[in-house]
Homo-oligomer: A and B are copies of this chain.
Amino acid sequence: MIETKSLGIVETQYARPPGELELESGEKLGPLTLAYETYGSLNADRTNAILVFHALSGDAHAAGYHEGDDSPGWWDGMIGPGKAFDTDKYFVICSNVIGGCKGSTGPSSENPQTGRPYGLDFPIITIKDMVNAQKKLVDSLGIDKLLSVAGGSMGGMQALQWAVSYPSRVLSAIPIATTARHSPQQIAFNEVGRQAIMADPNWNNGDYYGGTPPTRGLSVARMVGHITYMSDASMGEKFGRRFKDRLENEKFEPDFEVEGYLQYRGDNFVKRFDANSYLYITKALDYFDLHNGKGLNQVLKGVTARFLVMAFKSDWLYPAYQSLEIVKACKLAGVDATYCELNSQYGHDAFLLEIEEQSYLVKHFLNSVSENNGNGKHE
């Protein structure tokens, strides 16, 4: 057992790369703000940097504690001294995606053309656009080659896109619980969430900043999401058919614990997330198609990064077969790929919760990539 420690107090930083970001749509976005955090130290050769990516509702705060906060960043179990992404060895960077609402430029940011929040004037963005924004950040930090790019769910899509868009800048990729393109079922669940938001009169065609936001619609969207993040088995274990405590017996108030839990998660989410960001980011997920009209193996030709691909048996939102499609395409393209299917009950949430087994796999994979990169043998 290696002893792991917390990173302690960390702070979000803000980069303002010069110029505008040219988007896949042809539109331009700028000036650009990118919220990001870093953990560990960049070595003298600048060869130990790892970029990690957050999922739909995540942010730049991947690890450590913000001053005064009780809970750490969303991947704190994976990032820190002695952990999978070992900050004693690596320099870990995480930035909030564009389109988000956690410090990077998104629909709630000020539109320089009007001086008011963008709302629906914010341009449509894609996973590739998110990656291109991150590239500006990595450039501004003076990092030429990333030792690894890693993330789960939407984070995994960004890892895949990095390896394909910037093959000379990426030594390895760790896509977890993800896909090379959204299936109709994945699109359908997102569409229900979007419809719930847009059905809320407070959404007001995206123009609600300074007024009442569409909290009921966003809450329903989040509830749908939560069901898809868990497995039938994990819900069964967590809630069973237990009834919740009710003060009064109003019709159609939550009866079952699972109903109360979903409402609680939904109501909490609206305090920390912007409904328009939910629309833009889910659309980016749905548009994602690394195939780009070709065979995936064609797209992966020329990729030099080594891949560690992980999926979870009980994940029915991003089922293992989608990870296997990536691995198969890697093999056909001559890309070095290792595949691990982990035996978790947690469903899609497993990439956030199954720390021990993921840590073991990531740690050894990164050691091997790092050694091949001439960084000397660790441990």
**Residues of A with Cβ closer than 8 Å to B?**
120, 124, 181-185, 187-189, 191-192, 194-196, 198-201, 216-217, 219-220, 223-224, 226-227, 230, 232, 235-236, 238-241, 251-252, 254-259, 262-263, 266, 279, 283, 286-287, 289, 316, 319
Q: Supply 4 further A-B pairs (C-beta < 8 A) apart from A183-B235, A195-B216, A198-B252.
A: A184-B256, A188-B262, A201-B201, A232-B319
| Majority secondary structure, A binding face | helix
Some 26 contacts from A to B, beta carbons below 8 A apart, are: A120-B251, A120-B252, A124-B251, A184-B236, A184-B238, A184-B239, A184-B240, A184-B241, A184-B257, A184-B258, A185-B236, A187-B256, A188-B226, A188-B227, A188-B259, A188-B262, A192-B223, A192-B227, A195-B216, A195-B266, A196-B220, A199-B216, A199-B219, A224-B224, A252-B279, A256-B286
Query: B185 touching A263 by the CB < 8 A rule?
Result: no
Q: Which residue of B lies closest to A181 (CB)?
A: B241
With the chains together, A127 CA to B194 CA distance in Å?
33
Closest to A194 in B: B252
B contact residues around A187 at 8 Å (CB):
241, 256, 258-259
Q: How far is the CB of A294 from chain B (nearest CB, A)?
A: 14
Q: Please name all residues of chain B whose beta carbon is closer than 8 Å to the beta carbon of A316 when the two chains form the complex.
A: 232, 316
Q: Complex: how many Å from CA A198 to CA B252?
A: 9
- Identify the closest chain B residue to A218 (Cβ): B199
Question: A199's contact among B124, B200, B235, B238, by CB below 8 Å, is which?
Answer: B200
Given A183-B236, A236-B184, A252-B198, also A191-B258 (CB < 8 A): yes
Interface pair B183/A255, CB less than 8 Å apart:
no
Question: For A227, what are the chain B residues with a Cβ–Cβ distance below 8 Å?
Answer: 185, 188-189, 192
Q: Are A259 and B191 in contact (CB under 8 A)?
A: yes
Nearest B residue (CB) for A198: B252
Chain B nearest Cβ from A152, distance in angstroms:
20
Whose C-beta in chain B lies nearest to the C-beta of A282?
Answer: B252
Q: Given A199-B200, A262-B192, decide whether A185 and B235 contact each other with a Cβ distance below 8 A.
A: yes
B196 and A196 within 8 A (CB): yes
Q: Are A235 and B195 in contact (CB under 8 A)?
A: no
* Residue of chain B at shortest CB distance from A216: B199
Interchain CB contact under 8 A, B279 and A191: no
